[in-house]
A = this chain, B = another copy of it.
Amino acid sequence: MKRIFTFVLALTFAAGLGAQELSNFAFWGQKPIISPEIQNDSVIFRLKADYATVVKLNGSWMENPWVGTIDMKRGENCVWEVKIPLPEPEIYTYHFVVDGVVVNDPQNVLVQRDGTRYLPMLIVPGERTENYVEATQHGSVSHPWYTSKILGMDRRLTVYTPYGYENNPKKKYPVLYLLHGAGGDEEAWISMGRTAQILDNLIEKGLAEPMIVVMPNGNPGQAAARTLNIPEKPYDWRDPANRDLYVQSLCTEIVPFIEKNFRAIAKPASRAIAGLSMGGGHTISASILHPEMFDYICPLSAAGNMTPEQVATLKKAGVKLYFLACGNTDFLFQNAEEMHAKLVEQGLEHEYFVSEGGHVWSNWRLYLNTFARKLFK
A residues lining the B interface (CB < 8 Å): 3-4, 7-8, 10-11, 15-24, 47-54, 60, 64, 66-67, 98-104, 106, 108-111, 114-118, 134, 136-146, 154, 156, 163, 166, 180-184, 188, 192, 226-230, 257, 260-261, 276-278, 331, 358-361
**A49–B230 touching, CB < 8 Å:** no
**A184–B21 touching, CB < 8 Å:** yes
CB distance from A181 to the nearest CB of B (A): 4
**B100–A106 touching, CB < 8 Å:** no
**A106–B117 touching, CB < 8 Å:** yes
**B10–A117 touching, CB < 8 Å:** no
**A21–B134 touching, CB < 8 Å:** no
**A101–B52 touching, CB < 8 Å:** yes
| Complex Cα spacing A52 to B137, Å | 47
**What would 22 A/B residue contacts be, using CB atoms closer than 8 Å?**
A3-B100, A7-B67, A8-B66, A15-B359, A18-B182, A18-B277, A20-B60, A20-B114, A20-B359, A20-B361, A21-B182, A49-B99, A49-B100, A98-B98, A98-B101, A101-B101, A106-B117, A109-B226, A111-B118, A138-B156, A141-B142, A142-B143
Given the contacts A144-B140, A360-B20, A99 and B51 also touching, CB distance less than 8 Å: yes
**A20–B106 touching, CB < 8 Å:** no
Residue of B nearest to A231 (CB): B134
**A360 / chain B contacts, CB cutoff of 8 Å:** 19-20
Residue of B nearest to A137 (CB): B154
Q: A21-B182, A109-B229, A140-B144 are in contact. List 9 more A-B contacts (CB 8 A).
A: A20-B60, A20-B114, A21-B188, A22-B115, A22-B117, A52-B101, A103-B103, A138-B154, A166-B261
Given the contacts A145-B138, A182-B17, A183-B23, A102 and B106 also touching, CB distance less than 8 Å: yes
**A260 / chain B contacts, CB cutoff of 8 Å:** 166
Q: From the candidates B15, B20, B53, B66, name the one contacting A10 in the complex (CB within 8 A).
A: B66
| Complex Cα spacing A65 to B120, Å | 26
| Complex Cα spacing A23 to B222, Å | 14
Q: From the candidates B3, B64, B145, name the one contacting A140 in the complex (CB within 8 A).
A: B145
Residue of B nearest to A276 (CB): B18
Interface centre among A53, A60, A166 (most CB of B within 10 A): A166
| Complex Cα spacing A115 to B21, Å | 7
| Complex Cα spacing A139 to B144, Å | 7
**A15 / chain B contacts, CB cutoff of 8 Å:** 331, 359
**B101–A8 touching, CB < 8 Å:** no
**B23–A228 touching, CB < 8 Å:** no
Given the contacts A67-B8, A116-B109, A358 and B141 also touching, CB distance less than 8 Å: no
Interface centre among A140, A141, A146, A331 (most CB of B within 10 A): A140
| Complex Cα spacing A50 to B52, Å | 13
CB distance from A173 to the nearest CB of B (A): 15
**A278–B67 touching, CB < 8 Å:** no
Interface centre among A20, A137, A358 (most CB of B within 10 A): A20
| Complex Cα spacing A8 to B265, Å | 47
| Complex Cα spacing A15 to B188, Å | 18
| Complex Cα spacing A257 to B167, Å | 10
**A142 / chain B contacts, CB cutoff of 8 Å:** 140-144
